[in-house]
Structure 1
Amino acid sequence: MSETTLTGPRGPRALALDGEVLTGEAVALDLQPIGLGLRVLGGLIDAVLAWLVYLAIMIWGVGSLFDAGILTEGTLQIFAIVFLVVCFAVLPITVETLTHGRSLGKLAAGGRIVRADGGATGFRHAFIRGLVGVLEVYMSFGGIALLVGIFTPRAERLGDLVAGTYSERARRPALPAPAAFLPPELAGWAEVADVARLPARLDAQVTRFASSAAKMHAGARARIAADLARDVTPFVSPVPSAPPEVLLAGVAAVRRERERTVLRTERERAARLGGQDPFTGA
């Protein structure tokens, strides 16, 4: 994902990634779509369940009435068409509407259908997805949905493109441990500091150093701190006038606290979309 520079009260170093949504508090939520493989798995589970429901109704319900002579052959065909529409259009639309974009297949795959802006879906979105899904999922045996998903950035199917939705990853990671100790001399700096997202490897190195610096030899600690501080400085604004070790401790504390804020906000948003996440209990 590419990065986009945003301007605001903390200056032009506040960064957001494509696929992120900024809340009113300027918290960037990293809304991750699920991959194509998981979408196929979820869709396959939903399709199998729909077929099982349809066959159960036709064999043990309508079929029993036909065998008993209550229904004629013409009436049987009418019932077959009606229940075909119910199981493959009405039922999926109803389930997605009532659960705000969830179904058994999506639960198993860890996904949830949301609007393109990350908001909760409604009947209109479920209706469009359901009608288009009859064509791209059932009439083409999933071929159209798979082909479109391969060439869209968030593995969207044709119904998603028409309805303005996508499948978001619903499983949330656990909240990280509380923020590392913030040096008292950086308390004022932390309130106005803009610490951009660090590269994954550098972020892990800073976190490890902040948690184990006290156990290191003084000489090695100073050398590693100087190297890490030099790598971290381009991502920090303003750069505080502090020794490298103090700077790294401050950066680690600010980053950890903001991670917790983002995850808490995402969990609150997930609760508004559809209640507790059954996989994390949050």
Structure 2
Amino acid sequence: MGKVLSVSDVVTGEAVIVEVRVAQLASRTAALLIDIVVQLVTLFGASYLVGVVSFTSDPALTAVIYLVLTVLVIVGYPVAFETLSRGRSLGKLALGLRVVSDDGSPERFRQALFRGLAGILEFWTLGGAPALISSLISEKGKRLGDIFAGTMVISERAPRNYGPILDMPPQLATWAATLELSRLPEGIADTARQYLMRWHDLAPAVQHEMGVRIATEMSAFVSPPPPPGVPPFAYLTAVLAERRRRDEVRLAQQAGARRPSPQWPAQQPPYAPQGYPSQPYAPQTYPSSQPYAPQPYPSSQPHALQPYSNSQRPQFQPPAPQRPPSHPSPPAAARPMPGPAAPPPAPRPSEPAPGPTSGGFVPPA
């Protein structure tokens, strides 16, 4: 069984903490009832067929056949379904439940067999009381079969929590707009998102080691590579922020495409047409030769002469010639023309050459 609305942290094989929602008690009970009904119907139907087409009259052999048939239905049904469907029986499939390992990996055959054998004792022998008590005591809602097998039942229909919205680093916005993200798997994106959410809870060495490993794995599916010197957490943040932005744009475009556009009747336009003359303004006539009429001006002098009283009109006097200097003056020095900028001085042998910012990761070629 399980707890109500319980959320548990699962540490995956990659040492990443992932939140999973433990299945509720009501949903697990409903899934169990569906499985029991299917098992009983299958058992009665198979028993009826065996009785009809029985080829022996030996009661001992008939009892053995019924016993084998019962074990196959009660134990084989959950083991076969959960192994082939990766942790789902018909009841769990109907309720959106799944059996997983304690580290979040899919259920294996050995674990399904342990759960099936323990189910004989828990449900068919003791009526489900041990399973109920164990589920109420366990933090992750485990029954005895889950404790023995190292499994737990989770709900997959709960709303997914993507955590806080990641902000795009301003220095990487231009680069992120050119990313090719169509090949990025969902699992790597979820792993990176969980790493960023838990980044402040990790030790500095673990932050760097995990960040480099996840960023290197992600860079195999994302192109172009990041600029040199970009830290792993900044690279992961930029990729996830750009991926979320593109998803929002696509959803907005789909919502706009589904929105019905208003249908205006063609015979009734919203505004009555207005009649206008063929020419908005009357043509203006202008003289063919000159656009403006010539204005009469005096042909000789633009202004009337002013008389002077018995005096001569002042005449312009040229300046007196100057004697050349006894000693020639030196020519003025020419201004130097600006030349190309001088190259920067070469670094001294003792000084190391500047390199990329430390803290980045090298993506695979």
Q: TM-score range by the shorter chain?
A: 0.5 to 0.7
Partner deviation per Cα, 1:240-271 (whole Å, 9 max, x = no partner): xxxxxxxxxxxxxx7xx58x88xxxxxxxxxx
Q: 1:132: how far off? A: 0.8
Question: Quick one: distance in 2 between partners of 1:149 and 1:58?
Answer: 34
> Which of 10, 23, 27 is matched with 1:34 structurally?
23
Aligned to 2:101: 115
Corresponding residue of 2:122: 136
Query: Residues 183 and 114 from structure 1, CA distance in 2 versus in 1: closer, same or farther, beyond 3 angstroms?
Result: closer
SS at match of 1:19: strand
Shift of 1:122: 0.8
Distance change (3 Å), C-alpha of 1:110 and 1:64: same
Q: 1:51 and 2:40 equivalent?
A: yes
Aligned AA for 1:156? K
Go from structure 1 to structure 2 and tell me whether the alpha carbon gap of 1:31 and 1:73 turns closer, same or farther (over 3 Å shift).
Answer: same
Report how far residue 126 of structure 1 moved: 0.7
The equivalent residue for 2:9 is 19
| 1:174-185 correspondence to structure 2 within 5 Å | 182=168, 184=170
Structure 1 counterpart SS, 2:21: coil
Query: Following TM superposition, by how much is the alpha carbon of 1:81 offset from its aligned partner in structure 2, in angstroms?
Result: 0.9
Query: How far off its partner does 1:22 sit?
Result: 5.7
Whether contact under 8 Å (1:36, 1:150) holds in the other structure is no
Is 2:72 aligned against 1:83? no
| Gap regions ≥5 residues in structure 1 | 1-16, 188-193, 198-234, 236-253, 262-282
Q: Give 1:159's match in structure 2, choosing from 125, 133, 145.
A: 145
Tell me, in whole angstroms, the C-alpha distance in 2 between the residues paired with 1:20 and 1:161.
Answer: 15
- In the TM superposition, what whole-angstrom CA distance separates every residue of 1:75-123 from its partner, at most 9, and x where no partner exists? 3322211111110012221221111211111112211110111111111
Residue in 2 that maps onto 1:62 = 50
Contact map agreement 1:101 1:121 (CA 8 A) in 2: yes
Partner of 1:217: none
1:42, 1:108 within 8 Å by CA — same for their partners in 2? yes
CA RMSD after TM alignment: 3.6
For residues 89 and 18 of structure 1, what CA distance do their matches in structure 2 show? Answer: 29
SS of the aligned residue for 2:11 comes to strand
> What aligned pairs does 1:1-282 form with structure 2 within 5 A after superposition?
19-21=9-11, 24=14, 28-59=17-48, 61-66=49-54, 70-171=56-157, 173=159, 182=168, 184=170
Quote the residue 1:225 is aligned against: none
Q: TM-score, normalised to structure 1's length?
A: 0.54
Aligned CA distance change for structure 1 residues 20 and 165 (closer, same or farther; 3 Å)? closer
SS at match of 1:89: helix
CA distance in 1, matches of 2:132, 2:79: 20
What amino acid does structure 1 have at the position aligned with 2:77?
L
Q: Aligned with 2:111: secondary structure?
A: helix
Query: For residue 201 of structure 1, what is the aligned residue in structure 2?
Result: none
Counterparts in 2 of 1:55 and 1:156: CA distance versus 1, 3 Å:
same
For 1:153 and 1:80, the matched residues in 2 are separated by 39
Q: Residue 58 of structure 1 contacts residue 80 of structure 1 at CA under 8 Å; is this kept in 2?
A: yes
Q: Deviation at 1:173?
A: 3.6
Distance change (3 Å), C-alpha of 1:174 and 1:109? same
In 2, Cα distance between the equivalents of 1:71 and 1:81? 16
Measured in 2, the distance between the counterparts of 1:56 and 1:37 equals 29
Q: What amino acid is aligned across from residue 21 of structure 1 in structure 2?
A: V
CA distance in 1, matches of 2:105, 2:158: 17
Structure 1 pair 76/150, CA: closer, same or farther in 2 (3 Å)?
A: same
Q: 1:163 to 1:23 in 2, by over 3 A?
A: closer
Unaligned runs of 5+ in 2: 1-6, 174-194, 202-236, 245-365
> Compared with structure 1, are the counterparts of its residues 125 and 103 closer, same or farther at alpha carbon in structure 2 (3 Å cutoff)?
same
Conserved? CA contact 1:114–1:168, under 8 Å: yes
Over 3 Å counting, the alpha-carbon distance change for 1:98 and 1:70 in structure 2 is same
Equivalent in the alignment of 2:285: none
Structure 2 length as normaliser, TM-score? 0.42
Contact 1:111-1:169 within 8 A present in 2 as well = yes
Q: Is the 8 A contact 2:8 2:20 kept in 1?
A: no
SS at match of 1:150: helix
Contact kept in structure 1, 2:86 and 2:106, CA below 8 Å: yes
Choose 1 or 2 for highest CA Rg: 2
Percent sequence identity over matched residues? 33
Tell me which amino acid in the other structure corresponds to 1:128: F
- Report deviation, 1:36: 1.5
